[in-house]
Structure 1
Amino acid sequence: MSELVQAVLKSSEKTDLYEFIAQLSKDSDRYFLRNQILQAFSEYCSDREKPAYFFHSSSLGELIHYTHELILDDREIWFLLRPRIASQEICKLDRDRDRVEPANVRDLLAFRDRLVGRFFPEKGGLLEIDVTPFYAHSPSIRDARNIGSGLEFLNSELSAKRFHEPEQWLSVVFDLLRDRSYRETPLFLNDRITNREQLSQQAIEALKAIDSLDPETPYPVFEQDLRQLGFEPGWGYNASRVRTVLEFLNKPIGTSDRAVLEAFLAHIPLIFNIVLVSVHGWVAQEEVLGRSETSGQLVYVLNQARHLENQLQNEIKLAGLDRYGVRAKAIVLTRLIPNSEGTVCHQRLEKLEDTENAWILRVPFREFNANLTQNWLSKREIWPYLETFALDAQTELVREFEGTPDAILGNYSDGNLVAFLLSRQFDVPYGHIAHVLEKPRYLFSNLYWQDLEERYHFSLQFTADTIAMNAADFILTSTYQEIVGTPDTVGHYESYKIFTMPELYHVVNGIELFDPKFNLVPPGVDESIFFPYFETDPVGADGDRERTRRDRLKSLLLTREDPDIFGKLDDPDKPAMLAIAPLTAVKNLSGLVECFGRSPGLQERYNLVFLTRTIHRDRAKDEEEKAEIEQLYEAIARYALENKLRWVGMRLTTPDTGGVYRAIAENRGIFVHPARFEAFGLTTIEAMISGLPTFATQFGGPSEIIQDGENGFSIDPTDLEAMARKILDFSDRCDADPDYWSEISQRAIERVRAKYNWKLHAKHVLAIAKTYGFWRSAAKEDREALLRYMEALFYAIYKPRAERLLAEHCQG
């Protein structure tokens, strides 16, 4: 992209470039990000009365739109250009000599350090983290549009390259199935089959043995015949299923039939015990879903555990293994909190409702400092306890499973680090989940980490992230944007590609975005709780239970007086704009109130109803929550909205939350999600399946859920006037066409049911876990060097810093 800068220098726009740089130089800042650059360039074009095309279509305009970072020095101008998704290029301009040249990552990182006064070459060199060599011989996705489709890539291109001959396929399958058992129950093969040639021959004989049987013949009828041939239980519950699975063994794998591997693995139960790690605690079921900083994650984890366990039990039944006492088990691993404040979080085990064998297992932190470890700890302070927690959890998991897990899923930075440590101990596949990564949420958090360390401990978190995401066998994301962003924004994972932690280390390449470990698997919605407003409660077929709940919630939302409710509506019968969110700045509830307050049209058409954890300043859990409460009250008072809104500050049960959506939908209301950024948007799909026309932020996951204007509406929460106008345009169209509200409502329901359901999610996750586990065993030596490198980073960087924080805790 340096040629684009060169083109500007050789054109009449050279003067504009230098005048624009001079305009930026008047600012005290020297480091500009994309939004700042675009805003400044827009002002420049306006001040110079440039024609309309100049901003977008001139050579300089094109350069500016590709520029994601601009750094000014006395003599040099550094450009970080992003010509396309998942691609970054660096160049620098010597303004004295008009010379532009490509620059390397190392120079840019050193320049960033100098910019913040943290570059001291006399102290010696700095550790460079570069994962490039470890991915050099790994398969790589070529087209950025296919990033996030790792499973499909492995099942097609990699299979074709790996299995040139049927014998290679049989050899890997034989190694996979040999010596597998469930506790004392042998599975798949016995000692009559000792090599791949016998596996192929005996499979043909087994097919002959069951060929004359009725397809529905139960497995026990021909069990002994198959055992004589070398086959143990696990191939199917009847003759039809067994025949289907055995036929896979003699099918060629390659580009001509890329689905063979996926279909074979889908029919073979390879996972019986699975662990989902969510460390920071306050994990239970009703009314104990974390603190405000973790509640969304825990809803996801518990729903995922329930549906994974249900899917595993179903696979066991299809394999015919339930006859032999084989049972799946899912465990949500978290920390035990002795001072549990009246909850069950001090109990070691808790069974998950609606499951046969899924549990919450709580393991305490070791008591280095009882004043801390006896109580809940913020996710920012738990880093020193994770290594010993993993060691203790290993013992507890072996006890609960009466063996070892078959797969581990980590959640968030801390849970993923623990999952990595456990996967190394158990030698099993590890899947990484982190719908929100902290580094891109806090601008310049890595560059100024020393100034923020006391409060945030970013050196530990970003190191843990880098280790865990590279060590993972596969990474699950809810949206494509999580990985590589959009043409205008950098993805959360992409932000770990190049960064500096001044005086700690430089990351030259922290993640390989084109590696097929990334898989897009959105979460689902629990349709027993969240369902359309015109349907009855699935639990109570006569609808009485649902009607009673809806009447109670309408009273709560619109008319009931309560110390935990603010506002008294002049007209409770008007449709409502509903919002449900934690009290954090990024969720932008204060922006929604500001938008409502500025718009007489919205106030005429709607009541505003929003739900948070509390309405009381003195009950705020932290300074951020307190600040948001104060901003809400200030905006309400400034626009005199006391009789036009209802602010409900109480924690509702999950079924009641589902009822809230339906109660608002019944009166033809809408749902508004005004977050400045949302990684996925569970409330978005909950509202949509309830039948509420939904207006959700265009920044993040909701833009992939909603097809704007088709089944919902994307809004820009930074442009309050445009947001109000979009809602009012919808209202005007509803007035003109009485069916329009119902059309959008129905399309929203259909969208969620087709794409965002937990059953589909669980099947996809297990298919991924089995496929990556298969490749892990087939090419284990290819990953060992990378895993050793991540262990080195753990012991050389993470552990010493964690021990330093532990010492501070023990002194406090």
Structure 2
Amino acid sequence: MVMTGKTDPLYLLLISVHGLIRGHDLELGRDADTGGQTKYVVDLARALALREDVERVDLVTRQIIDPNLSADYGGPSETLQGKANIIRIAAGPDGYFRKEELWDYLDIFADNLLQWLHQQPRMPDVLHSHYADAGYVAIRIAHLTGIPLIHTGHSLGRDKRGRLLAMGLHGDMIEQRYHLSRRINAEEDILANAELVITSTHNEIAEQYELYDYYHPERMVVIPPGTDLDQFHPPNGSEENTAFNDSLARFLNKPENPMILALSRPDVRKNITTLIEAYGECPALQQLANLVIVAGNRDDIREMDEGAQSVLTDILLLIDYYDLYGRIAIPKHHSQEEVPAIYRLAASSKGVFVNPALTEPFGLTLLEAAACGLPLVATENGGPVDIIGNCHNGLLIDPLDKQALAEALMTIISDRQQWQTFSENGLANVRQYYSWQAHAENYLNAIKPLLGQQMPLPKISRPRISLRYQDRAIFSDIDQSLLGNPEGLQEFARYIRDKRRHFFFGIATGRRLDSALAVLKKHRIPTPDVLITSLGTEIYYTPHITADTAWARHIDHYWNPGAIRRIVGEIPGLILQPKSEQSRYKISFQYNSDIAPPPDEINARLRHEEQVVNAQLSFGQYFDIVPVRASKGLALRYFAQQWNIPLGKILVAGGSGADEDMMRGNTLAVVVANRHREELSQLDELERIYFAQQPHALGIIEAIEHYDFFNNND
């Protein structure tokens, strides 16, 4: 069924997981996770909420309860303005973590967000994820709801990995610190599933997204962010009376000289050290202008994170090496409210704003500086190409060419007519190209073709099978969880029969329905209330083995089995399994690891052929492909929604990698002892996942007792 002609005011859900997000006093530059993206999503939510055709905007982020941070970040909600709100969702431990450490908690975030959404008066019209971690969450929500997904990457893992390798960092070290494999895999999935990708510059599309297997520029649109023209405006004569200006006096011998202003967090990618070297090696520039570096806030460099500590230490060493005392300022503190005045102070001195970053995805600070009348000198790598190309208000430089950087600064500062031209061009063109009003208009025009094109998964009213009081469920795989220990299986069967009135019993298996039923009958396993078969592509309810047709219609999204068989059939080492192992929504191959390419390469080939699927290797020998909306975990969550069973009251038993997505998130889980459990070893540090000592079905009983499952009312 297709819905068309949607004209009601929109409900937009923005998701931005990491960093510190609140509606006031943004701590920009506090660390690598609290930069331009934080300001972007807050400003976007505000701008969209001002539109008459928007009913509600929710900006969803992670709830952070940390004694070292403001209590603002622990509040479950915060009004931004009018129709815009910040919603904070719990995920994992309370404390603040850098984004690279959040991956293991994103499934919990997704489960909690989905639960919150089901408590709202209606579902959003669009999900808009920001950065890879939010995209990972949004895909799971989209798969279970059918809500269109749009995405903004802000920065990309493949590009980052290339830059880190070019800097000489070893691949293993990069992976250990940044977990880029998980990030890049998530980004590939996002590009495969997003209906629209919004970028800030053409450079992102041409040079960054092009690195990905699922590269489709026709699904991408450039909508540059705006800037607040009420907050950022030309000097009005009051700039000299700021506390920040007073703080510069102790640094500079000639504070009246033009100011070369650099404002960024202390991150090696911002390339501040090259700027200092360029300034230090150009005596003429030192005589002409002061260099002011605003690199976040600090009390004690020794207490900062390793990256910031390293950058700031290098800055101080270079200041000393070039003996720049009296000509360079590096203030310790500034507030976000002071930033517009800092730009205006530089503009009133007839100075320049410089961004020498190795690469800059967009460059919000460039817009802010331009709106205050400052000419620009900026990196030629990334967003500044578009900004200076539109505004004609500065010069682009190779960020590694110190001489070119110094010459560009000299050119603008020494030529007052050129300075005036660049300043006036920036003021006029920022207003034309980079207002938030224009951004919101272009944004809604871009997403409107997506609205009403997908039917959300319906909430089906069902009778309670045959029992009316179950408020919890136990799901198990068959082959690696139940089978393998006959005595234990008999004990588990008795356990199920004794407790049957108190819970739903479910099977989640890769087997087809007929095969699963035959095995259950052969081993005298009690008939389940629900069977999730063929790797989550089919759901059946007993006693009449009734198929859930709504689930079947839902997962048919993007499914093209003929094309998949053709593509994979051409790959050596993959042979179709017998018809008894195939089903309408599952294509299964025998995988010969001696001949076949790695699974990642097979997935890449499918993406290149525009096949959006969920493919996985099990037991090192079975390669299964199902629709992208289908998996054991997604089917399990669909069941939980339909029957109003909290995930925290569902115990999931698994024994191999095929069970992982059932076990991540808010379900209670047990990995039973068997010869394939090493496929799940990466889960051994996660809460709510118990590694049993007992094998197979006995391990499930062990977990029931471990969780005190039947008395657990959390």
Establish whether TM, by shorter chain, passes 0.5.
Answer: yes
**Residues 710/443 of structure 1: CA separation in 2 closer, same or farther (3 Å cut):** closer
1:558 is aligned to 2:260? no
Letter in 1 for 2:331: V
Alignment partner of 2:99: what SS? coil
Q: Partner of 1:725 in structure 2?
A: 407
Residue of 511, 514, 520 corresponding to 2:214: 511
- Structure 2 distance, partners of 1:606, 1:806, is 56
1:402 is aligned to 2:121? yes
**Residues 806/700 of structure 1: CA separation in 2 closer, same or farther (3 Å cut):** same
**Residues 708/548 of structure 1: CA separation in 2 closer, same or farther (3 Å cut):** closer
1:301 is aligned to 2:301? no
1:292 is aligned to 2:25? no
More helix by share: 1
Q: Partner of 2:650 in structure 1?
A: none
Give the 5 Å matches for 1:547-696: 548=238, 550-553=240-243, 555-556=245-246, 558-559=248-249, 561=250, 568-614=251-297, 618-653=301-336, 655-696=337-378
1:548 deviation in Å?
Answer: 5.0
1:442 is aligned to 2:168? no
- Structure 2 distance, partners of 1:658, 1:451, is 39
Deviations 1:59-101 (A, max 9, x none): xxxxxxxxxxxxxxxxxxxxxxxxxxxxxxxxxxxxxxxxxxx
Letter in 2 for 1:176: T
**Residues 794/688 of structure 1: CA separation in 2 closer, same or farther (3 Å cut):** farther
1:555 deviation in Å?
Answer: 2.5
Residue of 342, 347, 360 corresponding to 2:75: 347
- Structure 1 distance, partners of 2:408, 2:12, is 45
- Structure 1 distance, partners of 2:53, 2:390, is 38
The answer as to whether partners of 2:144 and 2:629 remain within 8 angstroms in 1 is: no
Q: Partner of 2:622 in structure 1?
A: none
1:759 is aligned to 2:437? yes
Q: Partner of 1:532 in structure 2?
A: 234
Note the aligned Cα RMSD (angstroms): 3.0
Q: Partner of 1:465 in structure 2?
A: 187
Residue of 455, 460, 476 corresponding to 2:198: 476
1:677 deviation in Å?
Answer: 0.6
**Residues 550/273 of structure 1: CA separation in 2 closer, same or farther (3 Å cut):** farther
- Structure 2 distance, partners of 1:176, 1:601, is 65
**Following superposition, which runs of at least 4 residues in structure 1 exceed 6 angstroms of deviation?**
444-448, 777-782, 792-798, 800-803
The answer as to whether partners of 1:695 and 1:715 remain within 8 angstroms in 2 is: yes
Q: Partner of 2:712 in structure 1?
A: none
The answer as to whether partners of 2:377 and 2:395 remain within 8 angstroms in 1 is: yes
The answer as to whether partners of 1:439 and 1:445 remain within 8 angstroms in 2 is: no
**Residues 444/282 of structure 1: CA separation in 2 closer, same or farther (3 Å cut):** closer
1:419 is aligned to 2:138? yes
**Residues 337/526 of structure 1: CA separation in 2 closer, same or farther (3 Å cut):** same
1:380 is aligned to 2:100? yes
1:621 deviation in Å?
Answer: 3.4
The answer as to whether partners of 2:148 and 2:195 remain within 8 angstroms in 1 is: yes
1:807 is aligned to 2:684? yes
The answer as to whether partners of 2:9 and 2:53 remain within 8 angstroms in 1 is: no
Alignment partner of 1:443: what SS? helix
Give the 5 Å matches for 1:775-786: 775-776=453-454, 783=558
Alignment partner of 2:181: what SS? helix
**Residues 792/339 of structure 1: CA separation in 2 closer, same or farther (3 Å cut):** same
- Structure 1 distance, partners of 2:76, 2:303, is 29
- Structure 1 distance, partners of 2:392, 2:215, is 35
1:783 deviation in Å?
Answer: 3.1
- Structure 2 distance, partners of 1:596, 1:348, is 47
Q: Give the count of matched residue pairs.
A: 483
1:646 deviation in Å?
Answer: 0.8
Residue of 58, 62, 70 corresponding to 1:331: 58
Q: Partner of 1:277 in structure 2?
A: 15
Residue of 308, 312, 315 corresponding to 2:53: 315
Residue of 423, 429, 441 corresponding to 2:148: 429
- Structure 2 distance, partners of 1:596, 1:641, is 9
1:741 is aligned to 2:393? no
**Residues 782/395 of structure 1: CA separation in 2 closer, same or farther (3 Å cut):** closer
1:576 deviation in Å?
Answer: 0.6
Give the 5 Å matches for 1:350-361: 350-352=78-80, 355-361=81-87
The answer as to whether partners of 1:302 and 1:332 remain within 8 angstroms in 2 is: yes
The answer as to whether partners of 1:289 and 1:299 remain within 8 angstroms in 2 is: no
Stretches of structure 2 lacking an aligned partner (at least 5 in a row):
457-552, 561-610, 615-627, 634-656, 665-679, 690-714
Give the 5 Å matches for 1:243-282: 269-282=7-20
1:377 deviation in Å?
Answer: 1.4
Letter in 2 for 1:375: G
1:398 deviation in Å?
Answer: 3.4
1:611 deviation in Å?
Answer: 0.5
1:615 deviation in Å?
Answer: 5.1
1:494 is aligned to 2:204? no
Alignment partner of 2:370: what SS? helix
**Residues 362/726 of structure 1: CA separation in 2 closer, same or farther (3 Å cut):** same
- Structure 1 distance, partners of 2:404, 2:145, is 53
- TM-score, normalization by structure 1: 0.56
Q: Partner of 2:4 in structure 1?
A: 176
Letter in 1 for 2:50: N
- Structure 2 distance, partners of 1:635, 1:521, is 39
- TM-score, normalization by structure 2: 0.63
Deviations 1:200-233 (A, max 9, x none): xxxxxxxxxxxxxxxxxxxxxxxxxxxxxxxxxx
Q: Partner of 1:522 in structure 2?
A: 224
Q: Partner of 1:365 in structure 2?
A: 91
Letter in 1 for 2:248: L
Alignment partner of 1:273: what SS? strand
Give the 5 Å matches for 1:219-258: none
**Residues 804/701 of structure 1: CA separation in 2 closer, same or farther (3 Å cut):** farther
The answer as to whether partners of 1:287 and 1:651 remain within 8 angstroms in 2 is: no
The answer as to whether partners of 1:335 and 1:362 remain within 8 angstroms in 2 is: yes
Q: Partner of 1:55 in structure 2?
A: none
1:712 deviation in Å?
Answer: 1.2
Letter in 2 for 1:605: L
**Residues 557/442 of structure 1: CA separation in 2 closer, same or farther (3 Å cut):** farther
1:626 deviation in Å?
Answer: 1.1
Deviations 1:23-43 (A, max 9, x none): xxxxxxxxxxxxxxxxxxxxx
Q: Partner of 1:370 in structure 2?
A: none
**Residues 394/430 of structure 1: CA separation in 2 closer, same or farther (3 Å cut):** same
- Structure 2 distance, partners of 1:793, 1:721, is 56
**Residues 805/636 of structure 1: CA separation in 2 closer, same or farther (3 Å cut):** farther
- Structure 1 distance, partners of 2:272, 2:419, is 24
Deviations 1:391-439 (A, max 9, x none): 111122333x412111110010100111111122221111011120122
The answer as to whether partners of 1:416 and 1:468 remain within 8 angstroms in 2 is: yes
Alignment partner of 2:50: what SS? helix
**Residues 378/456 of structure 1: CA separation in 2 closer, same or farther (3 Å cut):** same
Alignment partner of 1:365: what SS? coil
